[in-house]
Amino acid sequence: MPSIKDAILTLALFATAANAQDQSIEDVINSQLQAFRDRDVQEAWQYASPMIQGIFRTPETFGRMVENGYPMVWDNSDVRFLDSEETGSQTRQEVQIRGPDGLFHILDYEMIETPQGWLINAVHVIPAPEMFS
């Protein structure tokens, strides 16, 4: 027979799983961005899709890729959510972020819905339009 302690632990785990599933796309992106600001790569890793986790294999490798390849995500501020669009089984969310260089960048987050809730499946930098004089 399960103890009261086991029952409470089980309820807490169900509540945590339900909370993760209730997170909106914006919540997931914000949570991962906050984790990067906090340098908590283990936490940031939790918001990456199984495909991303399969590619990078470890949170540390994933963190190094973000630090070196996406400095505006690693050192982000002034996050603003722009347009979103559903495309089949994915949702694309544009996000404006200020990077460590002080410049704003537009990122296209590819999100997938899983039994665990929304996860980040890819991030693409949208190039700034060329300016003509």
CATH topology of domain 4-126: Nuclear Transport Factor 2; Chain: A, (3.10.450)
Cα–chain center distance at 49: 9
Strands annotated E in 64-126: 77-87, 90-98, 104-114, 117-126
Mean pLDDT calculated for residue range 35-41 = 98
Percent of residues, the chain, with pLDDT higher than 90: 73
- Please check whether residue 91 is in contact with residue 84, taking contact to mean a CB–CB distance below 8 angstroms: yes
Cα–chain center distance at 87: 18
- Report yes or no on whether pTM surpasses 0.85: no
4 vs 46: CA distance, rounded Å: 29
Q: What is the pLDDT of residue 98?
A: 96
- Please check whether residue 81 is in contact with residue 53, taking contact to mean a CB–CB distance below 8 angstroms: no
Residue extents of the structural domains in the chain: 4-126
Q: Which is higher by pLDDT, 7 or 100? A: 100
